[in-house]
Structure 1
């Protein structure tokens, strides 16, 4: 059985080897997020650090741009190549920029995978994370469950050049095609992963479309600013409570689960960022040890509504 068939289980490598590390050599693996001010990636960092400590012969380096800046991310990867890290796990901000540095890293013998956001045409060995097309479809399907009568909807995205987000937008549209839902002009908006801007864009969508029936952020950004999100929703609380305005949001970070439990959203579709960090370490280590790894390693999705939110909060 290939090692990667078991990568979704956090401690499987340790268990298979009786608690010993996979190899005697020590490796330095870098996890490069799109932005370090995005709390989603904090969970990936935590998974990376925890798994590295368990393995014992791996150091997790967590380093990326403070804000979502594709050029800065590419420069950071260049610097890590120069430093001679043994492996890279990159959440791709811009496909073209990332492909160039990924290929350079591979040519210099560095193991490279992507996580969260892929550069499929690069020389990276594997992608670890969400099936982003299915993620978008799940968001659309959840909206249909919550409000089957339809209406108009608007999406909020992050970086315009981020391939994973484009796939989510496509998935939402696919799920809602042929239904009673119609996308408003100007959707999606692009927040560039700016949390405050994402909240403002939610308000702008509602202002521009007074009869808007749903807002679907394809990332959790506006809810990462809980006070700002509450203030926005409170302005239309009667519509939200009656589902005249449905709120279906990507991601299931703890703050989002709390907001859902308080009635500030109707449904969430969540990824598993902590597991991405864990599996990234296992995958890079397998590559360095000459193991064959699957090219695509999906970490799964969770659908959360008021009916089951307590299971995720506990």
Structure 2
């Protein structure tokens, strides 16, 4: 019952938003993210709003939406379904469950341009979208492995923390990390290659929930006191800074001595502070604001039939102890 109410609530908000657009005689460029509870996606919203402020006279408006919870994969599919049914000029989707979203898009066969943002469809379903705008996620995983290797030249025991099981972007990062750590392509699991071994019980999956991410970290540290590396493929635990501080307080001596290293994805303000406080050794950040800011223009190009590159990568920001870079001032 509660799930149905959430879906109905999301649909109601959506109806108001789209209705407002129609009342203003503006065409809707929709951005649908995995969940409104994730601060990473709020940066995409800020980019969308910045575009709106600079294009007040445009015939288009940027609509940012998604399910209340990042764990609500079915809710995201329903929102996309509702938007396409009600009528939008184009849509950019960050699919939480890539196969489920692709299956629905294939069933609907929308006449309006569909693109992906932040997270892509699986390779076999990419014919359904015109382009992907966001991070080169495999490269992001590569960079995380390179940072780990700088700190642990001989490898060690490692736990990867992932998000949703079917999220293509997260899985691509994990693949990039494993391939780079192992020194070979197509590695399903690290079992000693170049000294790296994934511990039993890992990877762990957060379902994009910050509280669960922190609990998983705490449990892993307790169960594996000799763990060499914990890799946050996404920044979930750090999105709850108080809880993350409490978890890392328990291993601060190990973090300072680098007996235990933490490499994390993303560079939002709570994360850069965690880095400056010595609660991570490197951050590999995406550029979500740029994704939200660029998406409306890309959708307009698609509507106009213009040639658009595929993919459109937005780059990475890397912070480490040798070069704090972006993390020093943000």
TM-score by length of 2: 0.84
2:42 match: 42
> Any residues of structure 2 matched to 1:108-127 within 5 Å, and which?
108-119=110-121, 120=123, 121-122=125-126, 123-127=128-132
1:272 match: 287
Rounded to whole Å, the distance in 2 between the matches of 1:128 and 1:303 is: 20
Rounded to whole Å, the distance in 2 between the matches of 1:104 and 1:50 is: 34
Deviations 1:258-305, CA, capped at 9 Å, x for gaps? 110111110000111011112211110111122111121111111102
More relative contact order, 1 or 2 (CA 8 Å, 6+ apart): 1
1:160 and 2:165 are equivalent in the alignment: yes
Contact 1:52/1:281, CA 8 A, preserved across alignment: no
Rounded to whole Å, the distance in 1 between the matches of 2:155 and 2:120 is: 32
Contact 2:31/2:93, CA 8 A, preserved across alignment: yes
Deviations 1:118-161, CA, capped at 9 Å, x for gaps? 01414111100111111111111111112223210101111011
Deviation at 1:26, TM superposition (A): 4.2
Closer/same/farther in 2, CA of residues 201 and 45 from structure 1, 3 Å limit: same
Deviation at 1:104, TM superposition (A): 4.9
Range with greater deviation from structure 2 (214-223 or 122-131):
122-131
Contact 1:28/1:86, CA 8 A, preserved across alignment: yes
Contact 2:139/2:173, CA 8 A, preserved across alignment: yes
> Any residues of structure 2 matched to 1:286-305 within 5 Å, and which?
286-305=301-320
How many pairs are equivalent?
Answer: 289
Rounded to whole Å, the distance in 1 between the matches of 2:47 and 2:89 is: 19
1:214 and 2:229 are equivalent in the alignment: yes
Deviations 1:87-145, CA, capped at 9 Å, x for gaps? 1111011122211333355x332221101110141411110011111111111111111
Contact 2:319/2:326, CA 8 A, preserved across alignment: no
Structure 2 unaligned blocks of 5 or more: 1-24, 183-192
TM-score by length of 1: 0.88
